[in-house]
Amino acid sequence: MTYVESFDGQQNPPPYFFPKVSVNACVLKATQDNLQRWCNTFLNLGNGHRFKPLVPFVYVGISHYPKMFCAGHENMGYAIQDEYFVMVPLVHYRNFFNLWIPVGLTWGFPFIGVTNGTSAISGQTVIGFPKMVGSITRTTMSGGAFHGEVEMPGFPVFDSNTQQRQMPIIAMRTDAPLQQSAPTGPVSGAAPAATLSFPWSLLHAGTGITDIEDEILEFLDDLIPGLYSTTVLKQIRDAEDPTQACFQSLVSAQWQIDDPLSSIEFSGGEVDVFDNASVDIIATLGLADGTAIPPPSVISAPTPDAGGPLAPAVAAPRSERFKALAAFEMQVDIHFGDLRNLGL
């Protein structure tokens, strides 16, 4: 059936073009069992596909999009946003005659949030990304270090007297840059295969890639440089029975990164993560080797309704600081499209 288009519906159609996107990200250690549990919950739902974490590590990033276009509809205008994401490298398996055969590498997005409502609606309804809408601050300090903070709507605890509010999610800090690197230059301390382009090269920064996996990554990068895929679960809740979905499918999308316009490796980085009842990144992904820190002293909150005062802010149940295995910044042009419904 034909989709009935409405330009005030905020469901912008793909493909998309994002020029000069600034990405700051840190690689953190996670727990293999937790990552597999997330795959089983959100991706491994049928008999046609299986996904397994490639390595027990995740990317935590903050990006700035100065312009976002619907490719082919640039005359409509553009949107601006900041974004935070947590993404996981995955191996995709297909079922052939009851044998699970690896067919490629992809990225899963357990957590993602933006500052632009149209992006959130389009990301959720068109593709399936679990996007939230919140606030993100980004600052480049003197000397080139990066600081970023993210707040997303949530509940400190689940309780009938607790109002939803903006909750701190992550705070990212880097040290000063090591050097201005070439677009596909090596990552400090990496194996020889660090000549790979983003994002696979960062997996070599102390993450224990095997020789076989190393050869696979090199082959894929040589085959289609700068081409990566994401796989997400797109589902629409059934209106009559809200415990059911009236549509459910895995959606694959390709994102092509042109040669980075600039690329910087930082001498170090750390990420503070604040779990709450709604968004629990530490617990879900099993982030490892963290150090307990005091919870945020200030939690921003919406204005109380006329019906009564806002309940007091309650500290997040778990706050930890994680040292990054690698920290980097780059500016890239991103082409996002070629979406396919994979089924389950």
Query: Concatenated DSSP letters for 55-102?
Result: SSEEEEEEEEEEEEEETT-GGG--EEEEEEEEEEEEEEEEEETTEEEE
Q: Which of 139, 176, 173, 127 is nearest to 25 (CA)?
A: 173
Instruction: Name every residue whose Cβ is closer than 8 Å to that of residue 252 and which is 6 or more positions away in sequence.
Output: 106, 229, 230, 231, 339, 340, 342
Q: Which of 17, 12, 329, 286 is nearest to 198 (CA)?
A: 329
Q: Which is it for strands 326-343 and 16-29: parallel, antiparallel or unpaired?
A: antiparallel
The arithmetic mean of pLDDT across residues 284-299, rounded, is 85
The arithmetic mean of pLDDT across residues 164-178, rounded, is 94
Count the Cβ atoms, other than its own, within 10 Å of residue 336. Answer: 19
Q: What is the pLDDT of residues 298-311, one digit of tens each?
A: 444 444 444 444 44
Question: How sure is the predictor about 263, in pLDDT bands with cuts at 50, 70 and 90?
Answer: confident
CB distance 325 to 57 below 8 Å: yes
> What's the confidence (pLDDT) of residue 302?
44
> What's the confidence (pLDDT) of residue 299?
47
Question: Which region among 187-201, 206-220, 241-255 has the lowest average model confidence (pLDDT)?
Answer: 187-201
Instruction: Name every residue whose Cβ is closer than 8 Å to that of residue 189 and which is 6 or more positions away in sequence.
Output: 205, 206
Q: Which of 262, 277, 279 is nearest to 110 (CA)?
A: 279
More confident residue, 180 or 150: 150
CA distances from 45 to 37, 78, 129, 200, 250 (A): 12, 36, 17, 27, 9
pLDDT at 7 > cutoff 90: no
> What's the confidence (pLDDT) of residue 35?
98
Q: Which of 64, 238, 43, 229 is nearest to 140 (CA)?
A: 64
pLDDT at 204 > cutoff 90: no
> What's the confidence (pLDDT) of residue 210?
57
> What's the confidence (pLDDT) of residue 117?
94
CATH superfamily of 16-296+314-343: Acetoacetate decarboxylase-like (2.40.400.10)
Percent of the chain residues topping a pLDDT of 70 = 79
Question: Which region among 52-61, 114-123, 138-147, 316-325 has the lowest average model confidence (pLDDT)?
Answer: 316-325
Q: Is residue 32 within a helix (H) or strand (E), and if so which, with residue range? A: helix 32-42
- Partners of 88 in the beta sheet? 108
pLDDT at 84 > cutoff 50: yes
More confident residue, 312 or 25: 25
CB distance 342 to 48 below 8 Å: yes
Domain spans in the chain, listed from the N-terminal domain onward? 16-296+314-343
The arithmetic mean of pLDDT across residues 52-67, rounded, is 95
Question: Which region among 99-108, 115-124, 212-221 has the lowest average model confidence (pLDDT)?
Answer: 212-221
> What's the confidence (pLDDT) of residue 8?
74
pLDDT at 337 > cutoff 80: yes
Q: What angle do CA 105, 108, 113 make, to 5 degrees?
A: 145
Q: How far apart are the first and last CA of the chain?
A: 21
> What's the confidence (pLDDT) of residue 94?
92
Lookup: tokens for 233: 């679960």
Q: What is the pTM of this model?
A: 0.85
Lookup: tokens for 78: 């553009």
Long-range contacts of 206-212 (CB under 8 A, 24+ apart): 206/325, 206/326, 207/27, 207/55, 207/57, 207/325, 208/55, 209/55
The total number of residues shown for the chain amounts to 344
Question: How sure is the predictor about 215, in pLDDT bands with cuts at 50, 70 and 90?
Answer: low
What does the alpha-carbon distance between residue 138 and residue 119 come to, in Å, rounded to a whole number? 19
What does the alpha-carbon distance between residue 236 and residue 242 come to, in Å, rounded to a whole number? 10
Query: Concatenated DSSP letters for 152-171?
Result: EEE-SS--TTPPPEEEEEEE
157: buried, middle or exposed (CB in 10 Å: 19+, 13-18, 0-12)? middle
